[in-house]
Amino acid sequence: MPPIYLASNSPRRRELLRLAGLPFTVCPSQVDEAAYAVADPVTLVETLALAKAREVAIRAGRGVSIGADTVVVHQGEILGKPASPAQAQEYLARLAGEAHLVITGVAVVVGGGLEQVAHEITRVVFRPLTPEEIAAYVATGEPLDKAGGYGIQGLGSLLVARIEGCYFNIVGLPLARLATMLARVGLNPLLISHL
């Protein structure tokens, strides 16, 4: 089996890839995300995911690289990772009682040059939140390194009324989509995870 590289330093993506049962090495991408000013969220996440996977594939020289990028979109505006607690509070106040989209781009690049890129969209509805609830959640520090300012796998789960679509996409790596992409290059997690 070729080596598999995760082009991300996200602990959430590491944990999700472990769930797939594949051995992998974390090799964080050195792509400057700020250099990509793309207005369309789907194009943005697919472009960044592919850039990250390509950059790691070039450094590794062989194997399979997996890149991903996630954004939250509310009323047509992209909400990335909040730059400060104040911005996290602003994001959460906007999302409270509202629906938004979580969009993750995922890319698989094989050292020989084969590239695949796709995206997953999940609709999330927050329950109404009081200013005190928002302040308390932000004070935990959990929102500061997550797109949209919340983590559904932690205390942020208390903010969510319902989801429509892939839960793992909200966490940062749509596993079913990734499994399909890996199967196309002979790395079906269900067939080889027992090795």
Strand partners, 162: 125
Strand partners, 14: none
**What would the CATH number be for the domain defined by 4-192?**
3.90.950.10
DSSP 128: P
The residues assigned a catalytic role are 69
Q: What is the pLDDT along the chain (195 residues), one digit of tens a residue?
A: 889 999 999 999 999 999 888 899 999 999 888 788 788 999 999 999 999 999 999 998 889 999 999 999 999 999 988 999 999 999 999 999 999 999 999 999 998 688 999 999 999 999 999 999 999 999 999 999 899 999 999 999 999 999 999 999 999 999 999 999 999 988 888 877 554
Amino acid identity, position 104: T
Listed by start position, the domains of the chain span: 4-192
Answer whether 81's CB lies under 8 Å from 20's CB: no
Degrees, nearest 5: CA angle 10-13-17: 140
- pTM here is 0.92
Burial class (CB within 10 angstroms; exposed 0-12, middle 13-18, buried 19+) of 163 = middle
DSSP 90: H
Interatomic CA distance for residues 64 and 48, integer angstroms = 17
